[in-house]
Amino acid sequence: MTNTKKQETKRNGKSLYMDISFLGPLIFLLFRIPITNIIGNEGNGYFAFSWELYTVLGLFFGHCFSSVISEMVRKRVRKNQYHNSSSILTTSLILGIIASLLGCIIFYFVSDALLGFLSMKLSGISFRLLGILLIFSSLSGIFCGYFEGIGTNVPTTFSKILKGFISGTGALIFTSALTKYGSKVGALLYNAQYKPAFGATGIVAGCICGTIFSLLFLIVINLIYQVPLKQLLKKDTITEQDSFLRIFKEMSKLFLISFLEVAFFNIFRIVNMWLYIKTTVLTDGKDKIVQYLGSYHGKVLVFTTCIILLIFIFTGRNIRRIQKNYRRNNMANCWNFFCEDIKQLLMLTLPAALILAVFGKNIFTFIYKSAGNIEITMLQIGCINIILVSFAVYMYRVLKKLDMKILLILIPTIAFVIQTLVMSFIVKLPTIGALSLIISEMIFWLLIVSMELLLSIKTLKPRVNINN
């Protein structure tokens, strides 16, 4: 009877599985829906361009610190070197402040020239403010990486939830106020585009508020952690204190790997935007180009990403089990757990994609009050990305746990090169136009999924012994 109850409890625990680490980004994206009704497609277009550029440049000035520090701290905690773990946090905070301040200065002084070259000069209003966000975001990422390194994701998860809620609330308030201000500026300068451009800046202002509160939360948690840390320091097995120079050298080596792992996931969208603007600027008006960018990045991409994040909350329960069994060379269990997760992903992504394909127009008309033909076509194509992105991210998480670092760099690199060549060709076709943005993205994720799936099968599937 007792064993039966234990089995039932275990099954119920499985059915109630939730990964709330994705809840923070989901909350913020849900706020983006009413924000879109304030700033319109043009505002989303300006924000999307500055944000994608920010995510790329931010990798050089602090956004890679989180994964680097997590790995460095984890390695020392396993050896009970708690003094060195604390030294890494202190050193990384110093380097993070220097790097992010440098990035902020560069953002401010090169924004006009860079965005003028990219034919999106009005995005500079929000882009300059993103330099301030970079500082707080980098420092917040350092604390997150430190806590993950010592073995807990709880502070990171709750800081992201806090950040998502405050960022969304702040963005709603600031976009309302700055859109009105932008309207007055546009009337004075006889340029109506200042209204959506300033509205886009309101989203950034909201993000800054959310990130500051998230950082303060993590600082408080770190202060609380000092109490149990004092007990752990007594058990320290340190033989050699890590110097500033030694930590810096190790961080520099890991930085390159961490950068290359995520670089092309961030770069491909800004490259696609630039190719689209550069190719269509002579045939389409600037206003129309910004509207198409906003339609895709502000509506279609936001809505489909909400669905993907919701799927992530209820899937991926076996990733850690796969990692543990892989280390024990128990490939049969690895494969069973992998197949179980894949089946669950299929059960959630296929219906979601089908429902959105059939009722997408009704859903968009309800939440955005209007839906153009191009938006609906983008959404119908974007439904496929719900499946592709979900599988790509899941398999990336699995392979990362298995330390497939070189291959995880090679896969997005190959996908980026191929999708860029495809985008360069299809963007010139007059019949496709704005749809080239989503078609090339679908190709990118299809390539990622195909290569990751082949690698996952090769790595996890048990080999049949012919002799038996």
Mean pLDDT for the chain?
89
Model confidence pLDDT, tens digit, residues 204-250: 999 999 999 999 999 999 999 988 888 887 777 766 788 888 888 88
- Give the model confidence (pLDDT) of 21-44 as tens digits: 899 999 999 999 999 999 999 999
For residue 7, name the pLDDT band (cuts at 50, 70, 90): very low
- pLDDT at residue 8 above 70? no
pLDDT band at 393 (very low <50, low <70, confident <90, very high): very high
**Of 466 and 91, the one with more pLDDT:** 91
What is the mean pLDDT of the segment spanning 119-143?
92
pLDDT at position 1 is 39
Q: Which residue has the higher pLDDT, 458 or 112?
A: 458
Over residues 102-116, mean pLDDT:
89
Q: What is the per-residue pLDDT for 375? A: 87
Quote the distance between the C-alpha of residue 122 and its chain's center.
Answer: 24
In whole angstroms, how far apart are CA 367 and each of 35, 144, 299, 357?
11, 34, 10, 16
Residues 6+ positions from 463 with CB-CB distance below 8 Å: 331
Q: What average pLDDT score do residues 336-341 get?
A: 95
The pLDDT tens digits for 343-384 are: 999 999 999 999 999 998 898 888 888 778 888 888 988 899
Q: pLDDT per residue over 271-303, tens digit each?
A: 999 999 888 876 666 678 888 899 999 999 999
Higher-pLDDT residue of 463 and 96 is 96
For 61, phi then psi, to 5°, come to -120, 30
